[in-house]
Chain A
């Protein structure tokens, strides 16, 4: 770890990005392109992680970590798998109506854990497919990649996911139909709406996006104007693909801001919250932050220093309303590089110097809680999570070169989706 601390910023970033990417190959099934949700033994595939992996292969090619041929081969295996896998309402299918179950068996690709057909995770997967379809512009296997990516996107029946309303629900199960949960308040779902709106086959109705916007909360929070959403990842996920700089929808036009600037505001809120540390958690400061969705110490309530502290397992944590149990995601600060490089690097260096155990083999763990007294060092999530690693690769690349943003914005589907959502200005005008 001392070696990491001694590196220049550029070298540090490059090394951490390389290590994060290696997760996506180390924990992939080379036969079908699926990537494990976590590094833990027996972990199923997360379709979102596959979406991140598909998005990161071009980065690997650009960085010289992988040949273009190998990247194309890995991409094609994943696309062929999804194209050929079972699409039906059977409980062990891979997907239905063009969507996919959240978690799949790494070998067979069939649904596991009676999980839900996940709309937002499908969107992240499809985003990766669209990246592949735009990046691989050659012949042979690359032509097949383009064909499959296009077909798989067109196959998604976004209208069906509205279930007769103009809202998009969060999921569906063959055992009970659509889940109750909808999307309330700003969160990571912009990319879901953009891809759904851009569909030439089963487009979402624009009214759904507008209706979702009615639940937004524009707040002056800790002296910062921000479209509120508590967990940090919600300010990053759609942004990993979509370059929001200078483009605005109706809401952001009204607020004279954009979603890129808004993430900067959210970062400021998270840092100030860390400094104020209202719950008196250990280590929190302006350079120790990153409260978001991720692994946690497990559901338990302990009495520490005369107060009852409640800890959580894997869940979505947020700032400033909570939940917050003193757990941060060690990767999260670095993932904000494109928005506030100084904050990202200062915080990451502080973390690495103070708690080097959070970064094993140059990869950040999913969660760290120094307040929970375990062996004197606090609780640390075991292994790695694919979502964290994939997002980190993409965000670092967007900071270094903007590659993902550049590729994604060339997609006519993305452009159409953004326009139907009411976005204009900036690069969308060009």
Chain B
């Protein structure tokens, strides 16, 4: 939600429809009820999911949004980035035609304006799913304005005091610009503003090699910008396993992204209209000239000006609202969900957290965040998906673990489609057939990892998985092949 994205600039019809859906002009806040079963602060993925869930269960709900409905995911994150990534993928695929027997086309420069227009159409379409109109139709009282707790069970919003039985803080997080000299002077963009540009920058420097940084670096490179990505760590995607991160690094390099790993930006300046980033890599200093800077490092939870302390809600600036495993804050009647409090800062995690918080708050639920199976994905090419434990996490917990790996280029569908990289790894607790986690690197890992999430949530082990019939040929065949490798291994050695 909330403080992050600037209100989109007015553009043709699409945008007027979009704005009508996310923040209707002339919106009149409703008159508050005497008391709400649930007051939700923040209309991002967590807040919307919670509000809709509670309303459908018959509870009275107030949903308060400071800016526009949809949060970062719709306006400055998952949705616009994927729209641009799709355009970039299609454009990049033209270079593969020759390998499949088609003549190499003469590819004209991409029309960035049209790509951005398409992105806006995508946002408009998706904004309809949870529009203010639809939320109101569910019986949710939607308030626009700045919310602030004024007691332990009331919130002030635009001159009204809302009393609640339960509340949910879902105010999200926002980009946190790094603190190096000269940055403000040269100007920069973040995910909150990058998707509003009208012209493709000739040169783009991306600072940060996490998921968003890698996605944007590869996409803008494919769209035609000269991209340099600067990452402080020795590898990209520090949360992912090394092999996956290195495959991605090579993929970006192949696309033409200039890779600067183990490199820190220490300063910035402008000269002759050019932005210059000053970097160090151990003892080597280097300047990077660019036309645009995109910051993809650091996010801070939106905890300011909410009156959290007044309501007895513990928080800190770095980790956000403090919650227990049930997502309950230190105020027993107030819960929190999404980026403002959760470690996994993904849309799906926020939605799941919001719904879980509702069940715990309003339905006497005892659901634990730690029990949720939450897959995630980095949407580069290839995509990198993960669910469950990483190998190192299992080993840190002294769980003997073994990975069954199938390379995508060994899967029949991978061969027919000319895949040369990627893999499916299923991590299994040794001595059992219990699946602890999975990592997938593939063109559509975002889809394949969901199968693993279902399998894990259903408690299906490797023995049963080996017998589940899949379509043939399919990339998901790699999942079955991994399970069959397990069965063979067990038959031969009895030790998997």
Chain A residues within 8 Å of B, Cβ to Cβ = 114, 173, 175-176, 179-181, 184-185, 213-223, 225, 230, 254, 256, 276, 278-279, 301, 305-308, 310, 320-323
B120: shortest Cβ distance to chain A, in Å?
32
3 tightest CB-CB pairs across the interface, nearest first?
Answer: A306-B98, A175-B283, A278-B409
Of A179, A214, A230, chain B has the most CB atoms within 10 Å of the CB of A214
Candidates B242, B254, B262, B396; contact of A184 at CB < 8 Å? B242
Assess A219 versus B404: contact at CB under 8 Å? Given A180-B233, A306-B104, A308-B95: yes
Assess A220 versus B401: contact at CB under 8 Å? Given A173-B282, A310-B254: no
Q: Are A217 and B233 in contact (CB under 8 A)?
A: no
B298: shortest Cβ distance to chain A, in Å?
18
Candidates A184, A307, A310; contact of B98 at CB < 8 Å? A307
Q: Are A320 and B283 in contact (CB under 8 A)?
A: no
Q: Are A218 and B402 in contact (CB under 8 A)?
A: yes
How does the 8 Å CB contact mask read for B386-408 relative to A, with 1 for contact and 0 for none? 00000110011000111111010
A138 to B253, CA, bound (A): 56
A175 to B496, CA, bound (A): 49
Q: Other CB < 8 Å A-B pairs besides A223-B489, A225-B402, 18 of them?
A: A173-B282, A175-B282, A175-B283, A176-B280, A176-B283, A214-B396, A218-B402, A219-B405, A222-B410, A256-B495, A276-B409, A278-B420, A279-B420, A306-B104, A310-B253, A320-B423, A322-B247, A323-B250
A174 to B474, CA, bound (A): 54
Assess A276 versus B485: contact at CB under 8 Å? Given A218-B403, A305-B99: no
Minimum CB distance partner of A323 in chain B:
B250
Assess A219 versus B403: contact at CB under 8 Å? Given A173-B282, A179-B282: yes
Q: Are A320 and B250 in contact (CB under 8 A)?
A: no
Task: List, in ascending order, chain B residues with CB within 8 A of A225's CB.
Answer: 402, 489, 493
Candidates B247, B403, B485, B496; contact of A321 at CB < 8 Å? B247
What are 28 of the A-B contact pairs (CB < 8 Å)?
Answer: A173-B282, A175-B283, A176-B280, A176-B282, A179-B282, A180-B262, A184-B242, A214-B396, A215-B395, A217-B391, A217-B403, A218-B402, A219-B404, A220-B403, A220-B496, A223-B485, A225-B402, A225-B493, A230-B243, A256-B495, A276-B410, A278-B410, A279-B420, A306-B104, A307-B96, A307-B98, A308-B95, A323-B250
Of B253, B282, B409, chain A has the most CB atoms within 10 Å of the CB of B282
Q: Which of B352-405 contact A (CB under 8 A)?
A: 391-392, 395-396, 400-405
Q: Indicate whether B73 reaches chain A with its CB closer than 8 angstroms.
A: no
Minimum CB distance partner of B101 in chain A:
A306
Task: List, in ascending order, chain A residues with CB within 8 A of B129's CB.
Answer: none
Q: Are B392 and A215 in contact (CB under 8 A)?
A: yes
Q: Are A310 and B250 in contact (CB under 8 A)?
A: yes
Q: Indicate whether B421 reaches chain A with its CB closer than 8 angstroms.
A: yes
Q: Are B425 and A219 in contact (CB under 8 A)?
A: yes
A119: shortest Cβ distance to chain B, in Å?
15
Q: Indicate whether B246 reaches chain A with its CB closer than 8 angstroms.
A: yes
Candidates B100, B246, B395, B407; contact of A278 at CB < 8 Å? B407
Candidates B283, B395, B421; contact of A322 at CB < 8 Å? B421
Task: List, in ascending order, chain B residues with CB within 8 A of A310's CB.
Answer: 250, 253-254
Task: List, in ascending order, chain B residues with CB within 8 A of A305's CB.
Answer: 99
Q: Which of B83-123 contact A (CB under 8 A)?
A: 95-96, 98-100, 104
Task: List, in ascending order, chain A residues with CB within 8 A of B421's CB.
Answer: 322
A96: shortest Cβ distance to chain B, in Å?
15
Q: Indicate whether B470 reaches chain A with its CB closer than 8 angstroms.
A: no
A230 to B247, CA, bound (A): 13
Task: List, in ascending order, chain B residues with CB within 8 A of A321's CB.
Answer: 243, 246-247, 423
Task: List, in ascending order, chain A residues with CB within 8 A of B246's CB.
Answer: 321-323
Minimum CB distance partner of A217 in chain B:
B391
Q: Are B282 and A301 in contact (CB under 8 A)?
A: no
Task: List, in ascending order, chain B residues with CB within 8 A of A216's CB.
Answer: 391, 395
Task: List, in ascending order, chain A residues with CB within 8 A of B486's CB.
Answer: 220
Task: List, in ascending order, chain A residues with CB within 8 A of B495's CB.
Answer: 256
Q: Which of B474-493 contact A (CB under 8 A)?
A: 485-486, 488-489, 493
Task: List, in ascending order, chain B residues with CB within 8 A of A214's CB.
Answer: 392, 395-396
Task: List, in ascending order, chain B residues with CB within 8 A of A180's CB.
Answer: 233-234, 262, 282
Q: Are A185 and B242 in contact (CB under 8 A)?
A: yes
Q: Are B485 and A220 in contact (CB under 8 A)?
A: yes
B265: shortest Cβ distance to chain A, in Å?
15
Task: List, in ascending order, chain B residues with CB within 8 A of A323's CB.
Answer: 246, 250
Task: List, in ascending order, chain A residues with CB within 8 A of B100's CB.
Answer: 306
A338 to B98, CA, bound (A): 45
A217 to B489, CA, bound (A): 17
Candidates B250, B262, B392, B405; contact of A221 at CB < 8 Å? B405
